[in-house]
A and B are shown apart, each in its own frame.
Chain A
């Protein structure tokens, strides 16, 4: 088990994995909305603002999804993490046919890749930032005074109050702005003297526009967002859009201030040309947007924009939606059990009849699936006696309300946890039988995640795959409860080999003595579950029990244990959290009449109680 395998099982990794998948469709959706907005907006400022908003929306979506996934995954993973078997052996693999389980399981593996990517992109940004600082300091000198005075006047014209340093650089290829607190304009050395003054002014105005709009800072932040969402094509599309519209905004400002679009366009073209003559061996790269900008400046019809990305986004949206749906059916199904009453005009009597059946189904499902393991017999009987759906709705509401640990709040933690357990069981224990119906599913839903899980993979033909679940404490059952599951058919459906009292739906017999009663429950497969009450005070109890056949007198099982109540001896192993003792292991009986005798004795004093239960096994 490597470190990364362990890490992938943490809630953080799971949450990141899910967040990444969700952000795919979220981002695609944002891109589609942005595409629609761009179609409506003509002005560069509006388009720029829309693109910036879209980028923020993508980031916010990511953050929001993550904060929602994190607590969910924390609950989810606890079971496996506690069990100390972070990377389960092959025997624990999902049964085939449950695509969602596999997809969901491999999701956390996205997290380490994503983190490496984020680190790389941010390191790259850091290097860029450092080299920009270097560029500002090396091979530069202050521009001649008359140019700096001109810059000041130009700054006043675009209502820029911050001081701007004008530098000439022998390393900069093109005029650039560096810094946002103390911004500097770097001009390639010689350009100030080499171009017509009007053109230089136009270019300086463009740079001042960048400074006034805080473009350097925005660009830094933009690079940071790119670094987080680098895996999403939409973020690169939006980012490119922001860069392009940013230049257009500055161009607009130059033309508005300077007046001569043609001179400005000529200046840009000259700049670009200078850049070429500087280096002979430069590759013939295409993809700059200067062409479009100059067409725009000269009011020439623009070449048709490529609208590939929105289409691409639609594709991503469809694919991720499919993936999420595939990976999520069990969760979604269990999370939304609310009966949706289909409304609609019922034209034919047959359809009305059909609808009645459908309406009945959600409540039946609620009783026989959703709460099958936690509803009491009395509640079940009461629910069955209800006649109208209003009553049933009210009953269900009350049912959950009674179990809400914090009745004052909107959240019902009990209900949420219950449906989470169902979802978990469906996701992890499904075979040919739905997860919630399996033994492991049932125990998980009733008692929650085990504190420890030991699983034995299939070692040779004679042994079966099995799991032992250990609970330190189960309310109403006892401490150190071990439940064993064996996949005896090899189908992936693990069967419980020992039963837990009260959950088997068998016959219950009680002791006849007055006062507290010992119960003996015989399950449908003839296992004997015993509950012995402890109803007097003592530091330590000796508990004895014998089971005999009442016809032959043969002893079937005997136990004797010494226990304390946990409240009297906290931290003791094997103490009883409840004043009820339930012996393990459980014996299986043949048909016949039996007598069970039990005694509870104060091991230091004389207090003693004895119980007798007569029962028959069919």
Chain B
């Protein structure tokens, strides 16, 4: 059932993030990336990847000797999956109050976004 895979666990979410960041990768490459942040066993990662492949969270390319794994869905998929999880969404939403970043917690409206684009284009044309 690739359209409605089960929710990934936190550990699976981490592996997916690595795949989204690096693109299709071998288990060894994924393990290297994770091991730089926290100690982990190669076999653990391998086992997890196999389980995720069975769940339909990742796809496996078996053409080469070392199997190459890729995320089965684009990154935006988490958004939709989180949108269904009200608690989790509220949880993440409340975090935005405390974090600082380039953009404010509140979104700009679509009209304003179009206006922004126009402003930027105008600027580009105006400057040599």
Using a CB–CB cutoff of 8 Å, the interface residues on chain A facing chain B are 124-125, 127-129, 131-132, 134-135, 138-144, 168-171, 174-178, 188-190, 192-193, 203, 206-207, 210, 215-216, 219-220, 223, 243, 246-247, 250, 262, 265-266, 268-269, 271-273, 275-279, 281-282, 284-291, 294-295, 298, 300
Contacts and interface: CB of A to CB of B under 8 A. Distances in A.
Given A174-B103, A279-B79, A298-B119, 19 more contacts: A127-B91, A128-B94, A135-B92, A138-B10, A139-B10, A140-B17, A168-B21, A190-B21, A247-B102, A268-B103, A269-B113, A269-B120, A271-B102, A277-B76, A285-B107, A290-B104, A290-B112, A291-B112, A294-B119
Contacts of B92: 131, 135, 171
10 contacts: A129-B98, A135-B99, A140-B37, A141-B37, A143-B21, A171-B92, A190-B20, A250-B102, A278-B79, A281-B83
A576 to B, nearest CB: 67
B22 interface: yes
Contact of B116 (A176, A216, A294): A294
Interface of B: 10, 13-14, 16-18, 20-22, 33-34, 36-37, 75-76, 78-80, 82-83, 91-92, 94-104, 106-110, 112-113, 115-117, 119-120, 123-124, 127
Contacts of B78: 139, 170-171
Contacts of B22: 144
A144 to B, nearest CB: 7
A105 B36 CA distance: 64
Contacts of B124: 262
Contact of A135 (B79, B95, B108): B95
Contacts of B21: 141, 143-144, 168, 189-190, 192-193
B37 A247 contact: no
Given A294-B116, A298-B123, A285 B109 contact: yes
A120 to B, nearest CB: 13
Contacts of A192: 21
Query: Interface majority SS on A: helix, strand, loop or mixed?
Result: helix
A223 B108 CA distance: 23
A207 B33 CA distance: 23
Contact of A215 (B37, B100, B116, B123): B100
Nearest to B109: A286
Contact of B98 (A125, A168, A246): A125
A134 B90 CA distance: 13
Contact of A141 (B34, B102, B107): B34
A175 B79 CA distance: 16
A143 B36 CA distance: 10
Given A170-B17, A170-B75, A273-B113, A220 B107 contact: no
Contacts of A171: 13, 78, 82, 92
Contact of B100 (A127, A177, A193): A177
Nearest to A183: B100
Contacts, number: 177
A271 B117 CA distance: 12
Contacts of A219: 98-100
A139 B98 contact: no
A124 B90 CA distance: 11
A195 to B, nearest CB: 12
Contacts of B95: 128, 131-132, 134-135
B107 A272 contact: yes
Contacts of A215: 100
Given A168-B21, A210-B100, A269-B116, A124 B33 contact: no
Nearest to B18: A141
Given A275-B107, A276-B107, A216 B100 contact: yes
A489 B91 CA distance: 64
B33 A142 contact: yes
A206 B102 contact: yes
A315 B114 CA distance: 38
Contacts of B116: 269, 272, 290-291, 294
A158 to B, nearest CB: 15
B120 A262 contact: yes
A291 B120 contact: no
A216 B109 contact: no
Contact of B110 (A134, A188, A216, A276): A276
B17 A189 contact: yes
B123 A286 contact: no
Contacts of A289: 104
B113 A174 contact: no
Given A269-B117, A275-B107, A140 B14 contact: yes
B104 A247 contact: yes
Contacts of A207: 101-102
B99 A178 contact: yes
A284 B109 contact: yes
Contacts of A140: 14, 17, 37
Contacts of A125: 97-98
Please provide the 10 A-B residue pairs with the shortest distance between their CB atoms, ordered closest to farther. A176-B101, A131-B95, A139-B13, A176-B99, A288-B108, A132-B95, A286-B109, A174-B103, A170-B17, A128-B98
B109 A175 contact: no
B110 to A, nearest CB: 6
Contacts of A210: 100-101
Nearest to B15: A141
A268 B117 CA distance: 11
A280 to B, nearest CB: 9
B66 to A, nearest CB: 20
A483 B113 CA distance: 78
Contact of B97 (A128, A141, A190, A284): A128
Nearest to B98: A128
A291 B108 contact: yes
A284 B112 CA distance: 10
B123 A262 contact: yes
B64 to A, nearest CB: 22
Contacts of B110: 276, 284
Contacts of B37: 140-142
